[in-house]
Amino acid sequence: MPLLVMKFGGTSVADLARIENAARKVRREVERGYDVIVIVSAMSGKTNELVGWVEQTSHLYDAREYDAVVASGENVTAGLMALRLQEMDVPARSWQGWQVPINTTSAHSAARFVSIPRDNIDRKFAEGMKVAVVAGFQGISHEGRVTTLGRGGSDTTAVAFAAAFGAERCDIYTDVDGIYTTDPRITDKARKLDRIAFEEMLELASLGAKVLQTRSVELAMRYKVRLRVLSSFEDTDETSGTLVCDEDEIMESKVVSGVAYSRDEAKLTLVTVEDRPGVASAIFGPLAEAGVNVDMIVQNISEKDIGGGPKDVTDMTFSCPVNQVARAKKALEDARDEGHISYADLVVDTEVAKVSVVGIGMRSHAGVAARMFSALAHENVNIKVIGTSEIKISVLIDRKYMELAVQALHDTFELEKA
C-alpha cells in the first residue's frame, strides 16, 4: 500500500473545526488508496501557554520537566484527530512519542532522532488501521523520559517518519499555499513556485522564509524525502502547493529561483586589527562562545599587501542579528581586555538589511552577480558587504532600501514569469 505522511501545524489544528477540516483532507488521501501517517502540532497557542507556565514556575528550569509539560499539547491534538477520523469511518488511532517509540537523544528540548522502529505502526496498518496520528515534536530518551525536538520539531518529525516508512511524499499543510519567489507583502509580482530544489529551499529557509524549518529541509535532502508545502485552508489537489525535491526532478530551472531578505541585521566593523595568522579565530571564537550568530564576514586587504602602511593591519567586518549586537560588543571588549585581540575602534551599524538571490542555476550560469549589482546600482542602492555561496549571492544594504532592492531584483531576474 503506498504511504503518505501529512503534517498539520498549529494554525491548521487551532480548533475543532480546523481539526475536522484537516481530517477531511486525510480522508481524501485514504480514499485515493493511501495509508497515511498524520503528524500533528499542538492547537495553536497551547504550546505558548504551557511554555509560559514552565517559565513562570522556574527560571532555570529542568529541561526534562519542561519537555514533559510542553509535549502534552500534541497528545491532545493527536487524540482529537484520531477521534474525528473515526467519526468519518476512517480507521485511525493516536500515537504518543513513547508508544511508537520515537527514540531520540537525551538532549532535552533539542533532542535528535536516534531511531523510529516501524514494527508497532506497521502491525496496526496490517490489522486494518488506515491512519496513524502521531504527536509531533516529541520523543522518548533511552532513560524513558519525554523529550522534545525544539520549535518547528513537528516538521522534522514528519520528514523523519516519511524517511523511516518510505513515504511517497511528505505533505506539510500550513497557513500559506506554497513557497514564493519572494515575500508577496513586498511585491505583488511574487509568484508561487511549483517546484524548488532542496538546496534552494535550505538557503531560503535560513534566510528568513519561515515556512519550513531548516532542519526539516536538511533531513529531507539527506533522505531524499519529497516535501510538499500547501495550504490547510484551501481546496487542494495533487498539483497544489510547492514541491521541494531533488534538483533532478526540476526540468527547467531558472538561474535565480527567489529573492530572500532578512530585515533585522547589524554590521560590525573592527577597525585596525592585526593581520596575522590566528586573528580571525581570536575574534570569532569568543563570538561563537557568546552565542552570536555571525553570518557574513569580510576582511579588507591589508595595508602591507598594497604597500601603503607601515604595519600589518586590516579591518574586519561581519554581520549578525541586530538583537545580538550588545552580546557581540561585550564578547569583543572582553577579548580585548584579556589581551587576546586588539583593535582601534568598533563601528556598529544597526540599520542594515540583507537581500539575497538564490538559485541552483547559478552554478552553471556566469554573470548573475553582475546583473544583481547593476540592478541595485540602477536604483542607487549602495552595497555595504557582499557574500556568496555556490547557489546564492547576498548583500548588506541600508535597511530603508530593502523593499526597493527586493522589487528591483525580482524584476531583473523576471521571477514573475513561470
* Residue 63 CB, nearest approach to a second copy (Å): 10
345-355 exposure pattern, b = at least 16 Cβ within 10 A, e = fewer: eeeebeebbbb
Which burial class, exposed, middle or buried, applies to 298 when counting CB atoms under 10 A from its CB (0-12, 13-18, 19+)? middle
Sort residue 150 into left (φ over 0), alpha (ψ -120 to 50) or beta.
Answer: left
Q: Comparing C-alpha atoms, which of 376, 385, 398, 172 is closest to residue 259?
A: 376
- Select 57 or 350, whichever has its Cβ closest to a second copy: 57
User: CA-to-CA distance for 265 and 240, rounded, in angstroms?
Assistant: 34
Preceding amide of 101 cis, omega within 30: yes
- Select 7 or 18, whichever has its Cβ closest to a second copy: 18
* Residue 134 CB, nearest approach to a second copy (Å): 12
Whether the Cβ atoms of residue 10 and residue 22 lie closer than 8 Å to each other: no
Which of these segments, 75-83, 188-196, 291-299, 376-384, binds a second copy (CB under 8 A)?
75-83
50 lies in the site for a second copy, by CB under 8 A: yes
Q: How far apart are the first and last CA of the chain?
A: 35
137 lies in the site for a second copy, by CB under 8 A: no
Whether the Cβ atoms of residue 70 and residue 48 lie closer than 8 Å to each other: no
Which of these segments, 93-101, 235-243, 356-364, 409-417, binds a second copy (CB under 8 A)?
93-101
* Residue 157 CB, nearest approach to a second copy (Å): 17
- Select 47 or 407, whichever has its Cβ closest to a second copy: 47
8 lies in the site for a second copy, by CB under 8 A: no
- Select 73 or 258, whichever has its Cβ closest to a second copy: 73
DSSP assignments along 131-181, one per residue:
EEEEETTEEE-TTS-EEE--TTHHHHHHHHHHHHTT-SEEEEEESSSS-BS
Which of these segments, 15-23, 106-114, 191-199, 298-306, binds a second copy (CB under 8 A)?
15-23
Name the pairing type of β-strands 195-197 and 146-148: unpaired
296 lies in the site for a second copy, by CB under 8 A: no
Write the binding mask 102 to 121 for a second copy: x where contact by CB under 8 A, - elsewhere.
Answer: --------------------
80 lies in the site for a second copy, by CB under 8 A: yes
Q: Which of residues 53-72 bind a second copy (CB under 8 A)?
A: 53-54, 56-59, 61-62, 64-66, 68-69, 72
Which of these segments, 14-22, 264-272, 274-282, 290-298, binds a second copy (CB under 8 A)?
14-22
User: CA-to-CA distance for 192 and 182, rounded, in angstroms?
Assistant: 9
User: CA-to-CA distance for 83 and 78, rounded, in angstroms?
Assistant: 9
Contacts with a second copy by CB under 8 A: the residue count is 37
- Select 80 or 273, whichever has its Cβ closest to a second copy: 80
Q: Which of residues 172-201 bind a second copy (CB under 8 A)?
A: none
User: CA-to-CA distance for 387 and 356, rounded, in angstroms?
Assistant: 9
Distances in Å between the Cα of 385 and the Cα atoms of 317, 325, 356 are 8, 17, 12
Element containing residue 22 per DSSP (H, E) = helix 16-31
146 lies in the site for a second copy, by CB under 8 A: yes
Residues at the site binding a second copy, with contacts judged by CB under 8 A: 16, 19-20, 50, 53-54, 56-59, 61-62, 64-66, 68-69, 72-73, 75-76, 78-80, 82-84, 86-87, 93-94, 96, 98-99, 144-146
